[in-house]
Amino acid sequence: MPDVTFRDYAGAMMKGDEPAAITILETLLGLEATRKLDPLRREAPAEPAPAPRPRGSSSTEQLPEPALPSGGRVVEPGRVEGADLRAILEDAKDLKEARAGLSKGTHEPAAPLAGKIVALIFQQPSTRTRVSFEVGIRQLGGESLLISAGDMQLGRGETIADTAKVLSRFVDAIMLRAKNHDDLMELAQHATVPVINGLTNKSHPCQIMADILTLEEHVGPLAEQTIAWVGDGNNVAASFVHAVTKLGGKLRVATPSSLSLNPDLLKWARTNGADITVTTSADVAVAGATCVVTDAWVSMHDADAVNRHNLLKPYQVNAALMKKAAENAVFMHCLPAHRGEEVTSDVMDGPQSVVFDEAENRLHAQKAILLHCFGLT
């Protein structure tokens, strides 16, 4: 029997001594301390967690991970191994296959998230992220708590650090769709439960895991593919950089020079062996590619809509551009799409388009991410 009791745990929490409280709880539950810090690692991290970045500071840091658990510390570049990402993808494939023939509201037989509550925080409107997470959590037997920006004081009146500590007392995991990437990092550093990146201005890892799942279903292993990104070098493009760096494959990025990818991100990727070509020519990027990807020209945080449309007109994905891709190439778009702008309707609705498979796969990829966050695979 342990030498501590739940009364000791409660006392430590009341004193605000969270490290002591976590240690006591782990002792009571028979858990290893390293498991609490990061459910995906079996050993203690080699280095201590970095200090929190000051709010509002400029940052070129990118998350090369698909929304993995923080467990009370920031997840920084290079920490998540490709083997972990591959395991998530394989689990997503198994989860999808296992649902064949089941109604959408049927729980997984094992209900692995039974008794768990996941907070879903949205600072921006969402369709696919919200619905796929809510349905996925329900199918896994858990419960979701939807919180909009207007429902809470994230960074307004109450610090993000305090919000993270409070929410960690009530829920088992947090998904945040944030306007500012630094908000996500600060929340992750101070939370004591897994934090999932549901989208920020710098990355969209949940989307990219669904994209890889879709690509591999239709054309084969990512490591054997050439992906052409055409348009704005935005957060989704950045997450494709993360993907090929960790999992292989070739990435060609065609953007206007003023909307190019972050040079520090590209330096990180190439230093880690990524095969990435950057060009201003859509034709060069798409030639022979097995996957062509684009995104909306104007996002919710962009104020220069007219200028962006003028810059990006040469990057429209249309039938003529798709003919330059490989014969078996697929077209992907994370949606919502603005038909007639970044993509024409004949491509969106054509035989090479897999956009709706891609949208569905958000559900399966995120279920696998949730299971890994809780160490349930």
334 in active site: yes
Phi, psi of 262 (to 5 degrees): -60, 125
Question: Which residue reads 């994209």 in tokens?
Answer: 211
Among residues 73, 130, 177, 308, the one annotated as catalytic is 177
Q: Is residue 126 classed exposed, middle or buried when 0-12, 13-18 and 19+ CB atoms within 10 A define those classes?
A: middle
8 A C-beta contact, residue 104 and residue 115: no
Radius of gyration of the chain (CA): 21
Direct distance between the N- and C-terminal alpha carbons of the chain, in angstroms, rounded to an integer? 29
Q: How far is 28 from 23, CA to CA, in rounded Å?
A: 9
Among residues 362, 364, 366, 373, the one annotated as catalytic is 362
Structure tokens at 288: 């022979």
* Neighbouring residues of 29: CB distance < 8 A, sequence distance ≥ 6: none
Q: Are strands 143-148 and 226-230 parallel, antiparallel or unpaired?
A: unpaired
Among residues 79, 204, 252, 372, the one annotated as catalytic is 204
Among residues 291, 295, 308, 366, the one annotated as catalytic is 295
Among residues 334, 352, 364, 372, the one annotated as catalytic is 334
Q: How far is 65 from 56, CA to CA, in rounded Å?
A: 23
Distances (CA, A) of 371 to 2, 54, 139: 29, 32, 12
Structure tokens at 72: 């009370």
Q: How many residues does the chain have?
A: 377
177 in active site: yes
Ordered DSSP codes for 246-286: HH--EEEEE--GGGPPPHHHHHHHHHTT-EEEEES-HHHHH
Going through the chain in order, the beta strands assigned E by DSSP cover 117-122, 143-148, 173-177, 195-199, 226-230, 250-254, 275-279, 291-294, 330-333
Q: How far is 124 from 323, CA to CA, in rounded Å?
A: 36
291 in active site: no
Among residues 207, 225, 316, 366, the one annotated as catalytic is 207
Q: Which helix (H) or strand (E) holds 241?
A: helix 235-247
295 in active site: yes
8 A C-beta contact, residue 140 and residue 370: yes
335: region left, alpha or beta (phi > 0 left; psi from -120 to 50 alpha): left
Active-site residues, by number, are: 177, 204, 207, 295, 334, 362
